[in-house]
Amino acid sequence: MLARHDHATSWLQAWSDLGRAPRTIDAYARGLAEYLLLCEREQIDPVTAKRSHVAVYVRELSARPHHRGANVISLDSGSGLANATIQQRLVAVRLFYDFLVEEGLRQSNPVGRGRYVPGRRRSGGLQQGLFPRLTKLPWIPSDDQWLRVLDVARREPVRNRVMLALAYDAALRREELCSLRTDDIDPAHRTLRVRAETTKNRLERVVPYSAPTGVLLSSYLAHRATVSRARGPLFLSESRRNHAQPLSLWTWSKVVRRIALEAEVERFSTHTTRHLCLTDLARMGWEVHAIATFAGHRHTDSTLRYIHLSGRDLADKLNRGMQHIHAWRIQTLTSEQMPTTDGVVHG
């Protein structure tokens, strides 16, 4: 599909030349290919397409059944595709039209962006884009669900156990975890170097891991030497087909998915450990800037999406507050003198 559109090929090549991550290029290519396929089917010239034509694409995405059907874990768009997936598809189309505008092939971008409009008080002056963006709190398991996951995980091979431990201890994203190399580990200080090229926003960071994880890591390194003594990728495949090759992202996802199903915690994913770690740091009283540094976020706005308190935490806070209010109201009812909210009694 993309090969039939010279402008699309040129745009993707430009992004590749700029050093964008291969997975990012692949995601953009798939999103744009879907849009171009719709244009071809509807007999729309993508170079001259209008906002109404892009709206047809949005409508199709909103109503499209998910290709995984009954295997979909959760939906947040009210349809087959999640809100975040639809937003990702639109990003590819919007960036493609940015390219066409820069090349002088168009005057404006039909996808557009949310922009400030004077007088729109209710929305803070921000005009909504083509499709509403939903920002949901990340899901984390309850204590019982986490224990069920750990009960299954403790029967896993040492490689899988240490990967799960590091994913939680250091709040690692899937790619950051699977891309660790033997020289990224500093056992003397119990730290990991997360290289910039493996991170989402190209920010390198050094993060600690716990002493129990260090013991487990030492056991894995001894086991790894029986698979390969070569330095390089830390986590290696032990299958017959890919023996001693770097463990792929998809293999790790399958491992976590299998653990989740066996533990009957289907929402548990490779990113859940990161959510849980950052939330636990917030519960321990870490400042938001410290958590942002630990997580590798450029802005604290991103960190705040991860930091949410469980219903139990909120209930405790509410209970403590209500005890004070209740005591004041009872005092008001039982005293002949009139107390105030600051505790001063007036005759």
CATH label of the domain that carries residue 38: 1.10.150.130
Q: What is the mean pLDDT of the chain?
A: 81
Q: Return the closest-CA partner of residue 30 out of 56, 61, 53, 55.
A: 61
In a domain, 17, yes or no: yes
pLDDT at 285: 78
Cα dihedral sign for 320, 321, 322, 327?
positive
In a domain, 253, yes or no: yes
pLDDT at 313: 58
pLDDT at 335: 57
- Strand order across the beta sheet in which 191-194 lies: 185-186, 191-194, 205-208
pLDDT at 316: 61
pLDDT single digits (tens) 160-202: 999 999 999 999 999 999 999 999 999 999 999 999 988 888 8
What average pLDDT score do residues 251-280 get? 94
297 and 269 both lie in a single domain: yes
Please check whether residue 306 is in contact with residue 275, taking contact to mean a CB–CB distance below 8 angstroms: yes
Q: Is pLDDT at 255 greater than 80 in this prediction?
A: yes
Maximum alpha-carbon separation in the chain: 88
pLDDT single digits (tens) 53-96: 888 888 888 776 655 444 444 434 344 567 777 788 888 899 99
pLDDT band at 331 (very low <50, low <70, confident <90, very high): low
d(CA 3, CA 94) in angstroms, rounded, equals 19
167 and 202 both lie in a single domain: yes
Q: What is the pTM of this model?
A: 0.66
More confident residue, 263 or 344: 263
Least confident interval from 87-91, 161-165, 327-331, 341-345:
341-345
Q: Return the closest-CA partner of residue 160 out of 88, 257, 90, 50.
A: 257
210 and 98 both lie in a single domain: no
299 and 319 both lie in a single domain: no
**Helix, strand, or coil (residue 205):** strand
pLDDT band at 119 (very low <50, low <70, confident <90, very high): very low
49 and 86 both lie in a single domain: yes
Domain of residue 327: give its range. Answer: 312-346
Please check whether residue 313 is in contact with residue 206, taking contact to mean a CB–CB distance below 8 angstroms: no
Please check whether residue 204 is in contact with residue 196, taking contact to mean a CB–CB distance below 8 angstroms: yes
104 and 178 both lie in a single domain: no
Cα 233–chain centre separation? 23
Q: Is pLDDT at 151 greater than 80 in this prediction?
A: yes
Please check whether residue 128 is in contact with residue 43, taking contact to mean a CB–CB distance below 8 angstroms: no
Highest mean pLDDT among 8-22, 34-48, 175-189: 175-189
CATH number at residue 259: 1.10.443.10
d(CA 83, CA 91) in angstroms, rounded, equals 12
Share of residues in the chain with pLDDT > 70 (%): 75
More confident residue, 269 or 316: 269
Q: Is pLDDT at 298 greater than 90 in this prediction?
A: no
In a domain, 324, yes or no: yes
pLDDT at 302: 75
CB atoms within 10 A of CB 90: 21
Question: Which residue bears the tokens 């949901």?
Answer: 136
pLDDT at 75: 38
Please check whether residue 310 is in contact with residue 276, taking contact to mean a CB–CB distance below 8 angstroms: no
d(CA 69, CA 80) in angstroms, rounded, equals 8
The count of domains in the chain is: 3
**Helix, strand, or coil (residue 127):** strand
301 and 316 both lie in a single domain: no
Torsion of CA 264, 266, 268, 269, to 10 degrees: 130
Q: What residues are paired with 192 via a beta bridge?
A: 185, 207
Q: Is pLDDT at 344 greater than 70 in this prediction?
A: no
Please check whether residue 193 is in contact with residue 184, taking contact to mean a CB–CB distance below 8 angstroms: yes
What average pLDDT score do residues 280-304 get? 85
Amino acid (1-letter code) at residue 317: K
Q: Is pLDDT at 52 greater than 70 in this prediction?
A: yes
